Amino acid sequence: MKKLINTPDTVLADALAGFAAAHPELTVDLDNRVIVRGSRPAAPKVAVVSGGGSGHEPLHGGFVGPGMLDAACPGEVFTSPVPDQVLAAARAVDSGAGVLLVVKNYTGDVMNFGLAAELAAEEGIEVRTVLVDDDVAVEDSTWTAGRRGTGATVVVEKAVGALAGRGAGLAEVAALGERVNAASRSFAIALTAATVPAAGKPGFDLPEDEIEVGVGIHGEPGRRREALRPARELVAEVVDTILADHDLAAGDEVIALVNGLGGTPLLELYVVYGEVHARLAERGIRIARNLVGNYVTSLDMAGFSLTLTKADPDLLDLWDAPVTTAALTWS
């Protein structure tokens, strides 16, 4: 295993210390492992809190700041945060208007955030939860733990952060989160496996000419193994898989996220974006907004995910609202 770390056990503590040093504009509670926006909002507002296992950077800490998250709770690598962290975050950012938890749909995250929500409620903090489950590689059936939360998390967090900033109430912000999640679908392809520091070796072995199709963001193998093919063909498969599950028709607009899984160069992500753009154009679907880069990663995994969120004027307006975070900034 080749990693720029001190020891596998201290990866999170060391990275968090580095993040705190690099971002003096944020408040980082190194003991509780909570990243909080630097200044209190001017008026009470719904606080948006997210979190999850580490190894997906810049998610979630990179999205803390005005216009997006009020706090983030990084768990150990690929391990959801513990309830104490989430509770500490909720306490730190609740201004009386309630707290929205944005939770990716994994058994561990659901349980730990769920326990935290109970504890927070006991303390009189009003809490609502939005569950993100956008990964069409997983069938949502009694045969699975439900669809995974992946790239759509960024879109949900951006939208609810903007709406909360405009003073909307907790129920309204939560409803928006659910709506954005429902309008989003993702699918990912891996060219290499991720190596969890504590495991010390790649999660799976992949021959030089094969890829894993339908992977998540935790290094687990995908739904099936295929031969590596040109980007155009891979993208066609990914786009078509998403569209088969989406209610997008010619004339619709989307927000598109071409997301690197951590080990893929931006040059290749732009190749992928070009193909996505062309494939959707053939279907009459217009990309109204896009992100191309590493946003929801899986450590050093090479590969990409595509997220398509059906857009409407309201959502685009929230998307365009100013945001100032470590990983996403515009005005």
Partner 1 sequence: MHDTVDIPLALAWVREIAAAVEQQEGRLTELDSAIGDGDHGSNLRRGFTAVLAALDDLTPASVGAVLTRTGTTLISKVGGASGPLYGSAFRAMGAALPGERADRAEFAAALAAGLAAIRKLGAAEPGDKTVVDAWTPALAAFGQPDATLAAAASAAAEAAAQGVRDTVPLQARKGRASYLGPRSIGHPDPGAASTELLFQALARVTAASGPSGSPG
Ligand X SMILES: Nc1ncnc2c1ncn2[C@@H]1O[C@H](COP(=O)(O)OP(=O)(O)O)[C@@H](O)[C@H]1O
Q: Which of 23, 56, 60, 246 is catalytic?
A: 56
Active site (annotated) includes residue 218: yes
Min separation Cβ 294 and partner 1, Å: 19
Nearer to a copy of itself, 147 or 218 (CB): 218
Residues 285, 248 contacting (CB under 8 angstroms) = yes
Nearer to partner 1, 143 or 250 (CB): 143
From residue 243 to residue 262, the character string flagging contacts with a copy of itself as x (rule: CB under 8 A) and all else as - is ---------------x---x
Nearer to ligand X, 74 or 108 (CB): 108
Residues 155, 307 contacting (CB under 8 angstroms) = yes
> Cis link prior to 41 (omega < 30° from 0)?
no
Distance CA 52, CA 225 (A): 27
- Binder to a copy of itself among 300, 307, 311, 321 (CB under 8 A)? 300
- Strands 303-311 and 184-190 turn out to be antiparallel
Residues 6+ away with beta carbon under 8 Å from 218? 53, 55, 78, 106, 194, 298
Task: Tell me the two tokens of residue 101.
Answer: 């938890």
Residue 35 is a binding residue for a copy of itself (CB under 8 A): no
- Binder to Mg ion among 19, 63, 78, 304 (CB under 5 A)? 78
Residues 49, 94 contacting (CB under 8 angstroms) = no
> Cis link prior to 277 (omega < 30° from 0)?
no
Min separation Cβ 318 and a copy of itself, Å: 18
Nearer to partner 1, 139 or 233 (CB): 139
CA 141 vs. chain centroid, Å, equals 22
Active site (annotated) includes residue 60: no
Q: Which of 23, 60, 218, 246 is catalytic?
A: 218
Distance CA 43, CA 213 (A): 46
Min separation Cβ 84 and partner 1, Å: 5
- Binder to a copy of itself among 51, 52, 62, 219 (CB under 8 A)? 62
Nearer to Mg ion, 94 or 133 (CB): 133
Min separation Cβ 270 and a copy of itself, Å: 4
User: What is the length of the chain?
Assistant: 331
Residue 79 is a binding residue for Mg ion (CB under 5 A): yes
Provide the annotated active-site residues.
Answer: 56, 218
